[in-house]
Structure 1
Amino acid sequence: MEVQLPTPDVTHEYWTMYFDGSIMVPRSGAGVVLVSPDGSRLRYTIRLHFLDSNNATEYEALINGLCIAIKLGATQLYVHGDSELVVHQVMKESSCKSPIMVAYCQEVHKLEDKFQGIELHHVPQKDNDAANFLAKLAARRDSSSSRVFINDLHEPSTRVLEDSI
């Protein structure tokens, strides 16, 4: 008796995501660029309406970008960010020191499980300029062109439970 294996699904192709966060006191924002397998670029600004640290802002960019990619149906994703700390914490090359960073990192890992394949890479800032531009645009609350999606986030993507502090 011959056992037939299912034919591998080759229709899923990798999307690419670039993310960045920016703080311009008193405001902060995040920028995300998603590139579909056919090369289409989708640009997002996320205006953060709460106080955040620089690292938390980077995590907000990553988490919101992953959520957008999931909503768009991406199942395989290459992720690029210029925050060495965030990339290393998520890749478990560096430990999280504060409870809020632990909570953010755990949220990223929950979202990673929704993909069939995901890779996270640190890139130099010069290779992340489109996401950086969008993050600054969001932080300044500048109006953007019609080709940029604007999201408003009124509370952090994660919370630290009181008893974990």
Structure 2
Amino acid sequence: MEVQLPILDVTHEYWTMYFDGFVMAPSSGAGVVLISPDGSRLCYAICLHFSASNNAMEYEALINGLRIAIKLGATRLYVRGDSELVIDQVMKESSCKSPLMMAYFQEVRKLEDKFQGIELHHIPRRDNDAADFLAKLAARRDPSPSGVFINDIHEPSACIMEGLTQMPFDA
């Protein structure tokens, strides 16, 4: 006799994360939207208090979003971002040409190990409005609307080690 087991829908375990970085001299910001399996939205505007390139800011948004997801207990994550370069590098479809991008890539790899499942997908910029809004809000240092968490980050998430001195480089 064959016993039929119910088909389990494991997609309910997945969180979804949208990320975006934004540089606006003299400040920059990152935006992260996390959507829990039950559909709750958590919005983060991350004020980055250091200068870096657009690509570095995209990595900062991704890394800080992953860190927040880990703190919230997410174990499975769909990640959506409009930075083709960052998504391609993390998905190993393109190589990291600068030492700093490689350092950011390695930081993402460390964080990925904390998830049971993680998928990254490039999306068009028009489909990333909420994260883009939050990144610009953080860069402008605008007051936080209700329901938006503000985080301040004072040090880059990755840097190039040369001897005992940390030297942040832009790519």
Structure 2 residue 81 is matched with structure 1 residue 71: no
Structure 2 residue 51 is matched with structure 1 residue 51: yes
Quote the offset at 1:11 in angstroms.
Answer: 9.8
Per the alignment, residue 121 of structure 2 pairs with 121
Quote the offset at 1:146 in angstroms.
Answer: 2.5
Q: How many residues were matched structurally?
A: 157
Distance (Å, rounded) in 1 between the aligned partners of 2:20 and 2:143:
18
Alignment of 1:8-157 (within 5 A): 13-157=13-157
Structure 1 residue ranges, 4+ long, deviating more than 2 angstroms after superposition: none
Residue by residue over 1:125-147, the C-alpha shift from the partner in whole angstroms, topping out at 9 and shown as x without a partner, is 00000000000000000001120
Q: Is the 8 A contact 1:87 1:122 kept in 2?
A: yes
Distance (Å, rounded) in 1 between the aligned partners of 2:137 and 2:111:
26
Distance (Å, rounded) in 2 between the aligned partners of 1:12 and 1:52:
37
Distance (Å, rounded) in 2 between the aligned partners of 1:72 and 1:148:
16
Letter aligned with residue 106 of structure 1: Q
SS across alignment from 1:161: strand
SS across alignment from 2:155: coil
Quote the offset at 1:162 in angstroms.
Answer: 1.0
Quote the offset at 1:49 in angstroms.
Answer: 0.3
Note the residue ranges of structure 1 that are not aligned, 5 or more in a row: 1-7
CA RMSD of aligned residues (A): 1.8
Give the direction of change, closer, same or farther, for the CA distance of 1:40–1:92 in structure 2 (3 Å limit): same
Letter aligned with residue 114 of structure 2: K
Structure 2-normalised TM-score?
Answer: 0.88
Distance (Å, rounded) in 1 between the aligned partners of 2:71 and 2:157:
16
SS across alignment from 1:92: coil
Aligned-residue identity in percent:
77
Note the residue ranges of structure 2 that are not aligned, 5 or more in a row: 1-7
